[in-house]
Structure 1
């Protein structure tokens, strides 16, 4: 007998899903059983929010939708933060939740709430799986989750329905047809008009974002930038689209006032701005209306982006790389009119984040980390002062070498994201960079790393504070309150969880610990003792 739960699991597997995350309850035990039978590995996380972030991370890194499984009521409620993260990070996620059987819904109240209503602001759709239409419903959810702008979709599955025989024909389970926008015709009038603008612009600027990275548009972006003579600013999540040593690269922008002081004057001077796969959800308020009134602002991407951060004069729909290739066709390579200004900006940015060359603080930590990481490593970074500095300092060697929560900016995503990276690319190292506040929030996931055999290296910057909030209090002239943390022995905690641990306070000790941790077969926690003062004026 093929159960409805089997149909759900087999349909997910047919669409490339190989991992599901969650914490089971009685209402989803049949579904968990079906996932295992279908070849989808279920990973028990310690918190549903972390499970949602890990699942969405797998979705981003593999291109297949991530899957979160929760029981009803408190299980789903615990996942809300992670689901909101997937919504604002534009990550494809299918949320499968248990729900009380229909026969008793009108009478039973224990752990019951309107789950679709709870998730309505966060998901692209909410459906209930029924016998006979389970495959079609799951296929619809996957298509919706993976259509731009990507995001989470919710499916309810009652336990009685999950265990029931599926009356649908025993036809082969097959994925839905791939849907993609066609490449633009090179003689398209809209392309021709924009190509002419590019050719005549004196001060063009490219702002590239996450969608360009997800679309694999790095090569096309660099070729177009060189042809147009346009400097490139990326968002934090789009780092790696262009080598930041390239003469047209202006690094990343997002949350750093020091970077904005250099980049915003160039943005305001631009006469043509190309927003390439760019969603300003990652940007701080300094990027409200950053372009001049007479600049022509064009958005390039699969779907218009819903925001009010700045005006958009035209939207050029289509897959990012083919659109850029078509725009570059026929353009004569040129340097543009701002070679000196671009070089000056690059030098100013390099100086702004060089940091002190002596002593041991966050700058030294990130220089040491960058030198130790192999080219194929992936770094998941948590929210906090360390994330801003790392995002500004590190030249990511490829798109998605650095992954983070940049739209939602929740605390606690570094370990789930590094977990996702290790699952998506099993042979490549994964590192979670986190502050002590974030680690204490997500510490239970060290148990997940242990139980799932995931050799993630956790680098915790232990400054005994919520440093970013402490800095904001100081800048506002306010008393310090609610930001101090005690001195937890994280190396001992790691060993208690069955991993390895190091406490370090110098570059040499950090270099040695990274070498051991990255070569190990179990997870490890490196607690780096740094002072909160190392972040003052750093970004």
Structure 2
């Protein structure tokens, strides 16, 4: 029988549970509503990163959850702090990332009076989280934290929010420590695997698509070995490219924004689609057009760790409720005969992928972002971690950069702007020995650019590249398609980003010609400081192989 611990506060018990569950990093913007927790963290082995905005703190925690598969942890204060952090909560929800956010709350004695910065957290975050609750009893703190870890990681992972009334944190707690959480893995049944084997044996043009979360390096290695043995062609979902080696002869490419048209055609012509781990949401399904809903026109096998996702959009021929790790382990043991036809299709698909991604397309202006990406692809270490947010600039990353190692791309599938800077800070904290890149658009960067101060504060030598075209490029592109020539609310006036870096105490360089990028990058690395490389991009260079003026002209002609 556990002996009650009576000599600690609820705040100390909470921090003790974080330590027990292996938490190494916490991200926060401090608030008086959780001062007892900050005090308890001071004496703990946990590294605390103090952020400049709660959205940044939540995104940093989400990046940790994405990279490790274990819940990222952030603390924010009540009211404005919590609502600022909601952007990171939404990323965790759509990206299926385990995250636990602890948020301050008013004292219990003044609740429901709309006290200072009071929020009903269950109402505010209920639709974005797997579980939102409030700690009312100091003696239940270890129970609540334990449940949060299991909830955030089980089934389809996602965010959990726990509100902490200020008065509860200072109360004494007799709660015993709960054991560390363990990942709950679901395994496929023998009958499902036998049926899958039969479906594969009968398929002439199968395609496996990898996505979602809850993968690990071993699962990636096993699926690559399975592809090598069988010759099955493999594609990856939007921003899940690190799940398979892009230079493997069976790799067909990624189904994201602006995918290879030949890969889209190959998906449409397949007679069996096996979706492993992901949801085949709006982006990878190309606006829900690749498969009919609810009844796909092709045999569809859906493997997912969350039972609620099976049949939610598409009725599968075969639904397999299993985590990718356990499913891939079972798949690797199937006696699937190698197929010359599959191998030929995979080799053709891989050749198409290489041709699509090998050489940067010409673009207007003196800085070709595609050539910058191919230079980084060929010169950055294979274990470099690239972080980015959202914007048309990311199209050059997806097309021309290749992620050779597992979890070297940390980016939101929800396409949330402002993500690349916080994520890079989190990754440099997690992997201080590795090169971490943050690639951003100009509008994208300034949604969280203040976090560069944190990189300087903690001496994190991240290299930030900012593609500056003076506008919200993605929105401008759609604007020219729908309202050609009628520019409204998409133009930006930007600072000198190199000077911005120096103002914070970092290194800054401006690149106005592609040929100058390598020298600027080397200088940034040699500085040993957080760095910003300001890339001057022609506004007409809107997408690889497309121009804004061309889009506008086509729209005017159509009108």
User: Which bin holds the TM-score, normalised by the shorter protein?
Assistant: over 0.9
Alpha-carbon distance between aligned partners in 2 of 1:245 and 1:396, rounded to the nearest angstrom: 9
Task: Classify the secondary structure of the residue corresponding to 2:235.
Answer: strand
Structure 1 stretch displaced more, 62-71 or 135-144: 62-71
Tell me which of 297, 300, 304 is aligned to 1:297: 300
Structure 1 residue 386, shift from structure 2 partner? 1.2
Q: Which residue of 1 aligns with 2:144?
A: 137
Verify: 1:28 aligned to 2:28, yes or no: no
Task: Classify the secondary structure of the residue corresponding to 1:240.
Answer: helix
Verify: 1:160 aligned to 2:149, yes or no: no
Alpha-carbon distance between aligned partners in 2 of 1:429 and 1:215, rounded to the nearest angstrom: 19
Compute the TM-score of the two structures, normalised by the length of structure 2: 0.89
Alpha-carbon distance between aligned partners in 1 of 2:499 and 2:360, rounded to the nearest angstrom: 31
Q: How does 1:223-234 map to 2 (within 5 A)?
A: 223-234=225-236
Tell me which of 426, 429, 435 is aligned to 2:435: 429
Verify: 1:443 aligned to 2:449, yes or no: yes
Q: How does 1:133-532 map to 2 (within 5 A)?
A: 133-168=140-175, 171=176, 173-181=177-185, 183-184=187-188, 188-211=190-213, 213-214=215-216, 216-256=218-258, 259=260, 261-281=261-281, 283=283, 286-291=286-291, 293-304=296-307, 305=309, 309-328=313-332, 329-337=334-342, 339=344, 343=348, 346-347=351-352, 350-351=355-356, 354-356=359-361, 360-406=367-413, 408-478=414-484, 479-532=486-539
Structure 1 residue 501, shift from structure 2 partner? 0.3
1:104 to 1:308, Cα distance in 2 relative to 1, 3 A: closer
Task: Classify the secondary structure of the residue corresponding to 1:110.
Answer: coil
Alpha-carbon distance between aligned partners in 1 of 2:326 and 2:340, rounded to the nearest angstrom: 23
Structure 1 residue 65, shift from structure 2 partner? 1.1
Task: Classify the secondary structure of the residue corresponding to 2:338.
Answer: coil
Structure 1 residue 452, shift from structure 2 partner? 2.1
Q: Which residue of 2 aligns with 1:534?
A: 541
Structure 1 residue 155, shift from structure 2 partner? 0.8
1:312 to 1:444, Cα distance in 2 relative to 1, 3 A: same
* Aligned positions, number: 531
Structure 1 residue 167, shift from structure 2 partner? 2.6
8 Å contact kept, 1:433–1:458: yes
Alpha-carbon distance between aligned partners in 2 of 1:157 and 1:203, rounded to the nearest angstrom: 54
Alpha-carbon distance between aligned partners in 1 of 2:540 and 2:112, rounded to the nearest angstrom: 58
Q: Which residue of 1 aligns with 2:551?
A: none
1:356 to 1:409, Cα distance in 2 relative to 1, 3 A: closer
Task: Classify the secondary structure of the residue corresponding to 1:72.
Answer: coil
8 Å contact kept, 1:247–1:343: no
Task: Classify the secondary structure of the residue corresponding to 1:434.
Answer: strand
8 Å contact kept, 1:222–1:242: yes
8 Å contact kept, 1:95–1:154: yes
1:164 to 1:475, Cα distance in 2 relative to 1, 3 A: same
Structure 1 residue 352, shift from structure 2 partner? 6.9
Tell me which of 11, 17, 20 is aligned to 2:17: 11
Task: Classify the secondary structure of the residue corresponding to 2:286.
Answer: helix
8 Å contact kept, 1:491–1:525: yes
Structure 1 residue 94, shift from structure 2 partner? 0.8
Structure 1 residue 240, shift from structure 2 partner? 2.3
1:68 to 1:348, Cα distance in 2 relative to 1, 3 A: closer
Compute the TM-score of the two structures, normalised by the length of structure 1: 0.92
Runs of at least 5 residues in structure 2 that lack an aligned partner in the other structure: 1-6, 547-559
1:321 to 1:107, Cα distance in 2 relative to 1, 3 A: closer
Structure 1 stretch displaced more, 203-212 or 101-110: 101-110
Tell me which of 81, 90, 93 is aligned to 1:75: 81
1:286 to 1:309, Cα distance in 2 relative to 1, 3 A: farther
Alpha-carbon distance between aligned partners in 2 of 1:324 and 1:495, rounded to the nearest angstrom: 48
Runs of at least 5 residues in structure 1 that lack an aligned partner in the other structure: none
Alpha-carbon distance between aligned partners in 2 of 1:17 and 1:373, rounded to the nearest angstrom: 30
Alpha-carbon distance between aligned partners in 2 of 1:230 and 1:139, rounded to the nearest angstrom: 41
Structure 1 stretch displaced more, 443-452 or 477-486: 477-486
Q: Which residue of 1 aligns with 2:56?
A: 50
1:307 to 1:44, Cα distance in 2 relative to 1, 3 A: farther
Alpha-carbon distance between aligned partners in 2 of 1:218 and 1:88, rounded to the nearest angstrom: 22
Alpha-carbon distance between aligned partners in 1 of 2:262 and 2:483, rounded to the nearest angstrom: 26
1:182 to 1:381, Cα distance in 2 relative to 1, 3 A: closer
Structure 1 residue 273, shift from structure 2 partner? 1.0
